Amino acid sequence: MGFSLLDIISGYENLIIVDSILTGEKEPGYIYEMKIEELLEGDLKPAHYAGIPDLYLLAKKINIPFPEKVLILAVEVKDPFEIKEEFSDEIKSKISEIEKKVEERIKEFLIT
Protein backbone atom coordinates (compact mmCIF):
# COMPACT_ATOMS: atom_id res chain seq x y z
CA MET A 1 0.00 0.00 0.00
CA GLY A 2 2.96 2.28 0.52
CA PHE A 3 2.08 5.93 0.96
CA SER A 4 -1.65 5.33 0.82
CA LEU A 5 -1.45 3.80 4.28
CA LEU A 6 -0.89 7.30 5.61
CA ASP A 7 -4.42 8.32 4.57
CA ILE A 8 -5.79 5.43 6.58
CA ILE A 9 -3.79 5.74 9.80
CA SER A 10 -3.57 9.50 10.08
CA GLY A 11 -5.73 10.94 12.86
CA TYR A 12 -5.78 7.84 15.06
CA GLU A 13 -4.20 7.79 18.54
CA ASN A 14 -3.08 4.18 18.48
CA LEU A 15 -1.73 2.13 15.59
CA ILE A 16 -1.56 -1.66 15.79
CA ILE A 17 -0.05 -3.56 12.88
CA VAL A 18 -0.15 -7.34 12.75
CA ASP A 19 1.71 -8.76 9.76
CA SER A 20 3.76 -11.75 8.68
CA ILE A 21 7.54 -11.87 8.43
CA LEU A 22 10.14 -14.29 7.16
CA THR A 23 13.47 -14.05 8.95
CA GLY A 24 14.35 -17.73 8.88
CA GLU A 25 15.73 -17.32 12.39
CA LYS A 26 12.72 -18.47 14.45
CA GLU A 27 10.13 -21.25 14.25
CA PRO A 28 6.95 -20.44 12.30
CA GLY A 29 4.47 -18.87 14.71
CA TYR A 30 7.05 -16.90 16.68
CA ILE A 31 5.77 -13.38 17.31
CA TYR A 32 8.19 -10.49 16.94
CA GLU A 33 7.43 -7.13 18.48
CA MET A 34 8.98 -4.06 16.90
CA LYS A 35 9.12 -0.36 17.59
CA ILE A 36 9.18 2.38 14.97
CA GLU A 37 12.53 3.56 16.33
CA GLU A 38 14.03 0.12 15.69
CA LEU A 39 12.74 0.12 12.13
CA LEU A 40 14.22 3.54 11.51
CA GLU A 41 17.61 2.22 12.54
CA GLY A 42 17.29 -1.15 10.82
CA ASP A 43 18.12 -2.32 7.36
CA LEU A 44 14.65 -3.45 6.31
CA LYS A 45 13.91 -2.97 2.64
CA PRO A 46 10.15 -2.78 2.09
CA ALA A 47 8.87 -4.05 -1.26
CA HIS A 48 6.85 -0.94 -1.95
CA TYR A 49 9.56 1.48 -0.98
CA ALA A 50 7.42 3.33 1.53
CA GLY A 51 7.22 1.35 4.73
CA ILE A 52 6.02 2.45 8.14
CA PRO A 53 9.30 4.27 8.93
CA ASP A 54 9.03 6.26 5.69
CA LEU A 55 5.44 7.18 6.48
CA TYR A 56 6.45 8.21 9.99
CA LEU A 57 9.21 10.50 8.68
CA LEU A 58 6.97 11.94 5.96
CA ALA A 59 4.16 12.64 8.44
CA LYS A 60 6.56 14.39 10.79
CA LYS A 61 8.00 16.40 7.91
CA ILE A 62 4.70 17.79 6.66
CA ASN A 63 2.87 17.84 9.99
CA ILE A 64 0.36 15.10 9.26
CA PRO A 65 -1.00 13.65 12.55
CA PHE A 66 0.62 10.25 13.12
CA PRO A 67 -0.55 7.87 15.90
CA GLU A 68 1.31 8.56 19.13
CA LYS A 69 1.43 4.91 20.18
CA VAL A 70 2.46 2.23 17.71
CA LEU A 71 2.53 -1.54 18.20
CA ILE A 72 3.98 -3.71 15.43
CA LEU A 73 3.62 -7.48 15.73
CA ALA A 74 5.06 -9.75 13.06
CA VAL A 75 4.40 -13.47 12.97
CA GLU A 76 7.20 -15.64 11.56
CA VAL A 77 5.83 -17.68 8.64
CA LYS A 78 7.15 -20.71 6.83
CA ASP A 79 6.64 -19.85 3.17
CA PRO A 80 5.22 -16.54 1.97
CA PHE A 81 6.01 -17.34 -1.66
CA GLU A 82 3.59 -20.15 -2.46
CA ILE A 83 0.18 -18.69 -3.26
CA LYS A 84 -2.61 -20.57 -1.52
CA GLU A 85 -5.70 -19.91 0.53
CA GLU A 86 -4.62 -21.64 3.74
CA PHE A 87 -1.84 -21.31 6.30
CA SER A 88 1.08 -23.74 6.32
CA ASP A 89 0.61 -26.79 8.58
CA GLU A 90 3.02 -25.28 11.10
CA ILE A 91 0.99 -22.07 11.43
CA LYS A 92 -2.34 -23.89 11.22
CA SER A 93 -1.47 -26.02 14.25
CA LYS A 94 -0.57 -22.94 16.30
CA ILE A 95 -3.16 -20.47 15.05
CA SER A 96 -5.28 -20.43 18.26
CA GLU A 97 -2.18 -19.89 20.35
CA ILE A 98 -0.98 -17.09 18.05
CA GLU A 99 -4.39 -15.40 18.10
CA LYS A 100 -4.47 -15.56 21.91
CA LYS A 101 -0.99 -14.08 22.29
CA VAL A 102 -1.70 -11.28 19.82
CA GLU A 103 -5.00 -10.48 21.52
CA GLU A 104 -3.36 -10.35 24.97
CA ARG A 105 -0.58 -8.10 23.74
CA ILE A 106 -3.05 -5.72 22.12
CA LYS A 107 -5.04 -5.51 25.38
CA GLU A 108 -1.87 -4.72 27.36
CA PHE A 109 -0.87 -2.14 24.77
CA LEU A 110 -4.19 -0.35 24.92
CA ILE A 111 -4.23 -0.26 28.74
CA THR A 112 -0.70 1.10 29.24
Partner 1 sequence: MAKKIEVDPITRLEGHGKIEIFLDDKGNVEKAYFVVPELRGFEIFSLGKPAELMPQITPRICGVCPTAHHMASAKACDDLFKVEVPSAAKKLREMFYNMFMVEDHTLHFYILGGPDFIVGPDAPKAERNVLGVINKVGLEIGKKVIGIRREIRELMTYLGGKIIHPVWALPGGVSKGLTKDDQKKFIEIAEKSVDFALFTLKALKDIVLANKKYVEVITSDTYTHKTYYMGLVDDNNKVNFYDGWIRVVDPEGKEFAKFKVQDYQKYLAERSEPWTYIKFLYLKNVGWKGFVDGKDSGIYAVAPLARLNASDGMATPRAQEAYEELYSTLGGKPVHHTLAMHWARVIEIIYAAERFLELAKDEEIASDKIRNVPTETPEEGFGVVEAPRGTLYHHYQTDEKGLITKANLLVATQNNSARIAMSVEKAAKGLIKEGKVDDGILNMIEMAFRAYDPCHACGTHSVPGRIPIKVTIYDHKKEVVKELKNI
> Contact residues for partner 1 (CB under 8 A)?
1-4, 6-7, 45, 47-50, 54, 57-58, 61-64, 81-84
Closest distance to partner 1 from the beta carbon of 110 (Å)? 25
Question: Which residues in 56-78 are b (16+ Cβ under 10 Å) and which e?
Answer: beebeeeeeebbeebbbbbbbbb
Residues 6+ apart with CB under 8 A from 87: 95
Shorter beta-carbon distance to partner 1: residue 47 or 111: 47
Q: How far is the CB of 108 from partner 1 (least distance, A)?
A: 29
Q: How many CB atoms lie within 10 A of CB 15?
A: 20
Nearer to partner 1, 3 or 110 (CB): 3
Closer of 50 and 102 to partner 1 (Cβ)? 50
